[in-house]
């Protein structure tokens, strides 16, 4: 494609963006003649260049739009929402045509006469006599063109008649002179900056990456070399390279405002279509981040903004009822913090309704009613990011299909960011996104496994643990076939990198290197053969052959020139099943287990000895009473054990019978084998009591339940370390369900009767 055309495309797109912004600004502030003049100039520039390049369709619509602006400027007409909408429609058409020119080099066939008619109608409201006799749809722009240009041009320059007149027959030589003039206005503002091809910047970035590698190599080399001059030069090189790297990175930085500028338009259109009034406030538009990141967050952010308008902010009358100003406020804020960019989307709308999320989640079978009851607000909010989840009461064409938030989350996480949701019912909601400044160069820890080296992004790194000698031999314990390590008395699941990568590497029994990593909400320990240095690595994408291997995030070239793969920690965790795979069930378990961790931090637990000397715990809040019964008052009726307790018949359960998986042979302990007294934990369940016979009640402790390990068998929620011992958290609900499957339980509830009948019922 011609350079002139390419430049025209770039410039016109910028003009379109500016017109978008200005039109929305104009609507807010209709008296601002400066804005009108700016829109006018922008449209005029598009029109002029089109004429020069022979894009007749675009020129025709631009011309009609220009007429509207000229009438506006001369105060012949006043801005109305309808006018703004029509002009915005013009911008859309213009963009479409630009895109088509970009892809095919031509405008293609098509008819914009309707838009032209609409635009023309704005200038001459229906009924008013059309001065030039061409009232109607026109692929005939020159005619109505004639009157306006003369006054129009004041602000620009002298040549317009020449520009406008010769358009259908492109008489190139005649037009050449005015064309540069049309380019002139933007050029004035652009003196201090130049347009550079992105691919050139990418290339520079690549070269700097190489330089960083070469620098690393030299710095490594200096380590074993004593020459002072050489060391001095190497240090100098080091400094300059770092500075150069920083500088080149900056060239790729763009203000986030570049993607925000389309939001006023988005918000306006959307608010209009759902009869809402929304004021969009943007703070920190000049916050800069890497161009690739800007591109990556564009869609997620748009989604969040649309979401906020569509079902965050309420309609004016509902807002009035709630005592808020009828106009909703949507705030976009961006700022740098700790080497990251924070972006917030804040609305003062209806906020998040934790109850509704809970109900919806239960209704969809994502969580059970019981899980729902136990989840904190924050955990419930997190459910919104699950696939297929939407709390919108009705599906609109804007949002509510439930495909959005999980995609948003995935996209944000793909670029190493995090997203969090907070809010209060009736007050509004806040979405916080944190993303890294750049992706191209990142600090990483280099480890090896067998003969290969791998880089682990430092962002997911928590700590390093090295076990040697006896510690190495005894430190790693097995829990149901899974290796675990007690890290400060909390169980850490271990994953051997060689296993995760299917590499047969002999393990050194005298040394265990554990890298504690964070993946999603879980921590796990990655066991590697050796830990090397941390290095700044340049991330290079993998070829298409390897894209499908999810455990690798990319590759890099090490100081010695060899290639090392970068591990995708989440991918490794998924492969090792530390973090459940994508399916919903897994995600939920994870949310729920993570919830266990977070809930109020400390929980009071009843610790008891279960069957076969195993330690188990129950949240104390679930326990109604602790009882000790003489052996002989426990009566066996059919398959059930019953106790007369406080005037009712209470079924009692034996833990060993419920957790049969462990040793199927020991199905039920004969009552005769019991000690003189049995210790029973009494639960209250649907107004009835159920007893659970335990071996021995040991203690009541407070614990944060951190680092839970997924359960090894049904009936257990998780394994944790409590007071220095691995303890299984009993899933009380599951146990009660198992004890009283379905109907039988209800019958027991309905008939408060004799043991015989209960037995028959069961």
Partner 1 sequence: MAREGQYCTFFVRGLFLGLEVTCIQEVIRAQPLTVVPLTSNVIAGLMNLRGQIVTAIDLRHRLGLPAREPHERPLNVVVRTNDGAVSLLVDEIGDVIEVDGEAFERPPDTLSDEARELIRGAYKLKGRLLLVLDPVRTVDADSGN
Judged by the rule CB under 8 A, the positions of this chain that interact with partner 1 are 206, 209-210, 213, 451-452, 501-503, 540, 542-549, 551-552, 555, 557, 561-565
Q: How far is the CB of 570 from partner 1 (least distance, A)?
A: 15
Nearer to partner 1, 540 or 609 (CB): 540
Instruction: Give 345 or 445: the residue with its C-beta nearer to partner 1.
Output: 445
Tokens of 624: 């109604």
Q: Which is nearer to partner 1, 540 or 599 (CB)?
A: 540
Reported as type and span, the H/E element at residue 448 is strand 441-449
Least distance CB 504 / partner 1 (angstroms)? 11
Residue 543 CB, shortest distance to partner 1, in Å, is 4
Q: How far is the CB of 450 from partner 1 (least distance, A)?
A: 9
The C-alpha atoms of residue 350 and residue 272 are separated, in whole angstroms, by 18
Between 31 and 210, name the residue whose CB sits nearer to partner 1.
Answer: 210
Cα–Cα distances in Å, from 667 out to 530, 639, 656, 661?
A: 47, 12, 7, 10
Q: Which is nearer to partner 1, 375 or 456 (CB)?
A: 456
Question: Rounded to whole angstroms, how far apart are CA atoms 642 and 651?
Answer: 4
Under 8 Å CB-to-CB from 168, ≥6 apart: which residues? Answer: 56, 142
- Residue closer to partner 1, measured from CB, 506 or 543: 543
DSSP state of 498: H
Of 488 and 545, which has the nearer Cβ to partner 1? 545
To partner 1, the closest distance from the beta carbon of 6 in angstroms equals 22
Q: Is the dihedral of CA 480, 484, 487, 491 positive or negative?
A: negative
Asked whether the beta carbons of 682 and 689 are under 8 A apart, the reply is: yes
With respect to partner 1, which residue has the nearer C-beta, 205 or 491? 205
Buried b (16+ CB within 10 A) or exposed e, 323-342: ebeeebbbbbbbeeeeebbb
> First and final CA of the chain: distance in angstroms?
82
Contact 692/681 with Cβ under 8 angstroms?
yes
Question: For residue 377, what are its two tokens?
Answer: 């607000």
Spatial distance between the Cα atoms of 721 and 489, rounded to a whole number of angstroms: 6
Positive or negative: CA dihedral 580, 514, 467, 487: negative
- In the bound complex, what is the minimum distance in angstroms from residue 221's beta carbon to partner 1? 18
Can you give the C-alpha Rg of the chain in angstroms? 35
195/544 with CB nearer partner 1: 544
With respect to partner 1, which residue has the nearer C-beta, 418 or 503? 503
> What single string gives the DSSP state of each residue in 222-266?
HHT---HHHHHHHHHHHHHHHHHHHHHHHHTEEETHHHHTTHHHH
Closest distance between partner 1 and the C-beta of residue 574, in Å?
13
φ/ψ of 344, rounded to 5, equals -125, 140
HSE-CB at 718 with a 13 A cutoff on CA atoms is 22
The tokens of 568 are what?
A: 């995708």
Shortest reach from residue 529's CB to partner 1, in Å? 14
Residue from 599, 621, 706, 708 nearest 376 by CA: 599
Find the shortest distance in angstroms from Cβ 576 to partner 1: 12
Nearer to partner 1 by Cβ, of 397 and 548: the residue is: 548
Write the CB contacts of 288 (distance below 8 Å, at least 6 apart in sequence): 250, 253, 254, 255, 256
Q: Which of 458, 436, 466 minimizes the C-alpha distance to 517?
A: 458
Shortest distance (Å) from residue 279 CB to partner 1: 46
- The residue among 220 and 258 lying less far from partner 1, judged by its C-beta, is 220
Minimum CB separation of residue 603 from partner 1 in Å reads 40
Closest separation in Å from C-beta 442 to partner 1: 16
Query: Nearer Cβ to partner 1, position 224 or 543?
Result: 543
Minimum distance from CB of 410 to partner 1 (Å)? 22
Read off the tokens for 161: 């008649």
Q: Which is nearer to partner 1, 428 or 554 (CB)?
A: 554
CB of 502 to partner 1, least distance (A): 6
Number of C-alpha atoms within 13 angstroms, CB side, residue 117?
A: 9
Would you say how long the chain is, in residues? 762
When the beta carbons of 60 and 497 are compared against partner 1, the nearer one is 497
**Which contacts qualify for 452-455: CB closer than 8 Å, 24 or more apart?**
452/503, 452/564, 452/565, 453/532, 453/558, 453/562, 453/564, 454/497, 454/528, 454/564, 454/565, 454/566, 454/567, 455/535, 455/537, 455/556, 455/564, 455/565, 455/566, 455/567
Q: How far is the CB of 534 from partner 1 (least distance, A)?
A: 20
Give the residue with the Cβ less far from partner 1, 210 or 477: 210
47: nearest Cα among 25, 69, 26, 23:
69
Q: How far is the CB of 546 from partner 1 (least distance, A)?
A: 6
Q: Strand 725-730 vs strand 615-619: parallel, antiparallel, or unpaired?
A: parallel
Phi and psi at residue 169, in whole multiples of 5°? -95, 115
């Amino acid at each position: 494609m011609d350079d002139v055309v390419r430049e025209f495309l770039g410039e016109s797109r910028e003009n379109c963006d500016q017109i978008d912004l200005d039109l929305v600004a104009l609507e807010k502030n209709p008296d601002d003649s400066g804005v009108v003049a700016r829109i006018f100039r922008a449209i005029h520039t598009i029109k002029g260049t089109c004429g020069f390049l022979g894009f007749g369709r675009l020129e025709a619509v631009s011309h009609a739009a220009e007429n509207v602006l000229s009438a506006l400027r001369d105060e012949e007409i006043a801005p109305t929402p309808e006018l703004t909408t029509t002009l915005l429609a013009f911008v859309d058409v213009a963009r479409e045509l630009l895109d088509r020119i970009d892809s095919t080099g031509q405008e293609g066939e098509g008819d914009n006469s309707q838009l032209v008619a609409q635009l023309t109608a704005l200038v001459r409201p229906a009924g008013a006599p059309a001065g030039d006799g061409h009232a109607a749809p026109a692929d005939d722009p020159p005619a109505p063109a004639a009157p306006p240009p003369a006054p129009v041009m004041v602000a620009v320059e002298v040549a317009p008649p020449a520009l406008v007149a010769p358009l259908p027959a492109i008489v190139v030589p005649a037009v050449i002179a005015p064309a540069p003039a049309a380019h002139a206005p933007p050029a004035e503002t652009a003196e201090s900056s130049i347009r550079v091809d992105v691919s050139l910047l990418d290339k520079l970035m690549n070269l700097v990456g190489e330089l960083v590698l070469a620098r690393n190599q030299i710095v490594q080399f200096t380590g074993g070399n004593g020459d002072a001059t050489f060391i001095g030069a190497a240090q100098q090189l080091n400094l300059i390279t770092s500075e150069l790297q920083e500088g080149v990175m900056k060239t790729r930085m763009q203000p986030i405002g570049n993607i925000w500028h389309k939001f006023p338009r988005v918000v306006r259109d959307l608010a209009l279509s759902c009869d809402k009034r929304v004021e969009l406030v943007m703070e920190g538009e000049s916050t800069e981040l890497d161009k690739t990141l800007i591109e990556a967050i564009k869609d997620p952010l748009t989604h969040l903004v649309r979401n906020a308008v569509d079902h965050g902010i309420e309609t004016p009358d509902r807002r009035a009822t709630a005592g808020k100003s009828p106009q909703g406020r949507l705030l976009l804020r961006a700022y740098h913090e700790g080497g990251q960019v924070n972006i917030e989307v804040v609305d003062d709308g209806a906020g998040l309704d934790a109850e509704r999320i809970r109900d919806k989640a239960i209704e969809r079978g994502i969580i059970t009613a019981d899980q729902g009851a136990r989840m904190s607000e924050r955990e419930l909010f997190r459910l919104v990011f699950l696939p297929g989840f939407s709390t919108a009461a009705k599906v609109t064409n804007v949002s509510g299909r439930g495909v959005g938030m999980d995609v948003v989350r995935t996209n944000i996480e793909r670029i190493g960011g995090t997203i969090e949701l907070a809010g209060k019912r009736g007050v509004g909601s806040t979405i916080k996104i944190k993303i890294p400044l750049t992706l191209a160069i990142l600090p990483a820890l280099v480890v090896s496994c067998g003969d290969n080296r791998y880089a682990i992004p430092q962002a997911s790194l928590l700590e390093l643990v090295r076990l040697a000698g006896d510690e190495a031999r005894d430190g790693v314990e097995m829990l149901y076939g899974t290796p675990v390590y007690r890290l400060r008395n909390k169980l850490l699941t271990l994953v051997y990198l060689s296993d995760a990568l299917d590499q047969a590497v002999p393990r050194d029994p005298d040394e265990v290197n554990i890298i504690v990593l964070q993946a999603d909400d879980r921590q796990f320990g990655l066991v590697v053969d050796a830990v090397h240095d941390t290095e700044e690595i340049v991330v290079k994408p993998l070829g298409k052959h390897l894209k499908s291997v999810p455990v690798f995030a990319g590759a890099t070239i090490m100081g010695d020139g060899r290639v090392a793969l970068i591990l995708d920690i989440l991918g490794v965790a998924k492969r090792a099943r530390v973090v459940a795979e994508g399916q919903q069930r897994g995600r939920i378990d994870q949310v729920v287990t993570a919830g266990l961790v977070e809930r109020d931090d400390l929980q009071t637990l009843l610790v008891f000895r279960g069957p076969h000397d195993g330690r188990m715990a129950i949240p104390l809040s679930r326990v109604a009473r602790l009882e000790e019964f003489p052996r002989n008052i426990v009566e066996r009726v059919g398959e059930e054990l019953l106790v007369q307790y406080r005037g009712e018949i209470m079924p009692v359960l034996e833990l060993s019978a419920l957790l049969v998986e462990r040793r199927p042979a020991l199905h039920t302990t004969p009552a005769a084998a019991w000690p003189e007294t049995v210790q029973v934990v009494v639960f209250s369940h649907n107004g009835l009591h159920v007893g659970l016979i335990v071996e021995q009640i040991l203690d009541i402790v407070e614990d944060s339940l951190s680092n839970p390990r997924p359960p090894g068998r049904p009936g257990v929620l998780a394994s944790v370390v409590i007071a220095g011992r691995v303890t299984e958290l009993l899933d009380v609900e599951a146990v009660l369900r198992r004890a009283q499957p379905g109907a039988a339980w209800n019958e027991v509830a309905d008939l408060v009767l004799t043991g015989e009948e209960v037995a028959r019922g069961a």
